Structure 1
Amino acid sequence: MNNYLRHILLPAVVGAVIFVGTCLINPNDVPNMPQGIQWDKIVHFGMFFVLSAVSLFDYYRLHNGKPRLLRWILWGFVVPVMYGAIIELMQKYIFQSRSAELADFIADVLGSLTALLIALFLYKKVRKPEKNLSL
């Protein structure tokens, strides 16, 4: 049980930081960035990339480098994407100082998807093929 808590703690902290950043901080308190770039979308992408990357890495370590692929994708991609959807719905219906945007959710999905694709690529590269010995 202690092993599970250790590997859940970092993704939970990252998730809490995302919640505070997207729901509790007033948009007027965010510093102005140079015009011409959608900084908000880049931040969403980055936050969900980090959340998924941390979740994927911790799940990989929890299972000693041999995660079950579908569960790994569930915890490292599907759960963060659902979390992003819930945050956008909370911004629309609960937090009056914030607004929900489909583009924010798309940036969340793309950040999580990028982390998943990198993790799958690295997993295939690191995983050593099992040799079949035939007699």
Structure 2
Amino acid sequence: MKTRFAFFFPGIFWLLLCTLLLTLPGSAFPTEDWLDKIWFDKWVHIGLFALLVICWCRGIHQSVADRKKAIKIFAWITAAAVCYGISMEFVQRYFVVNRSFDTGDIVADAVGALAGYFFSRRIYIKK
């Protein structure tokens, strides 16, 4: 039988990986013009935050049997992910070399978190 920690290991791992990636110095990233044209960094933020929410919702799905309670927790996870995204922008602005605050990243983080929420509701919550 799995322990509760095992249910949340993917979410914890992904949160740590996201924190690492979001705090890398700006000089660690490629500066290709074509990546800017397709807003590659925004797509990365959407993917990071969608997967962050999905990983945490999966842990809840495996550990909470009550459907209504799980939906409520999924919403809280999504809100927490958006708050995390906002706080990481401030961390980038004040503490990370060659990184700056970008409201576009916050929007992309929120879109990704919401995408993760709706995906999780569709996959993990049975009607």
Q: Report the equivalent of 2:26.
A: 27
Indicate the SS of the match to 1:16.
helix
- One-letter identity of the residue aligned with 1:29: A
2:76 to 74, 77, 87: 74
Unpaired segments of 5 or more residues in structure 1? 128-135
Q: Report the equivalent of 1:4.
A: 4
Q: Report the equivalent of 1:13.
A: 13
TM-score, normalised by the number of residues in structure 1:
0.80
* CA root-mean-square deviation: 2.0
1:72 positional shift: 2.5
What CA distance in whole angstroms lies between the structure 2 residues aligned with 1:29 and 1:94? 15
Query: Which string of whole-angstrom CA distances, capped at 9 and with x for unpartnered residues, describes residues 86-115 of structure 1?
Result: 111111122232111000011000001011
Greater RCO (Cα-Cα under 8 Å, separation 6 or more)? 2
What CA distance in whole angstroms lies between the structure 1 residues aligned with 2:60 and 2:89? 26
What CA distance in whole angstroms lies between the structure 2 residues aligned with 1:37 and 1:103? 14
Q: Report the equivalent of 2:112.
A: 111
CA spacing shift, 1:34–1:94, aligned 2, 3 Å: closer
Asked if 2 retains the 8 angstrom alpha-carbon contact of 1:81 and 1:109, the reply is yes
Q: Report the equivalent of 2:59.
A: 58
Asked if 1 retains the 8 angstrom alpha-carbon contact of 2:74 and 2:117, the reply is no
Task: Number of aligned residue pairs: give it.
Answer: 123
What CA distance in whole angstroms lies between the structure 2 residues aligned with 1:65 and 1:47? 28
TM-score, normalised by the number of residues in structure 2:
0.84
Q: Report the equivalent of 1:122.
A: 123
Unpaired segments of 5 or more residues in structure 2? none
CA spacing shift, 1:96–1:27, aligned 2, 3 Å: closer
Percent identity reads: 19
Whichever structure has more helix as a proportion of its residues is 2
Asked if 2 retains the 8 angstrom alpha-carbon contact of 1:11 and 1:51, the reply is yes
1:21 positional shift: 0.7
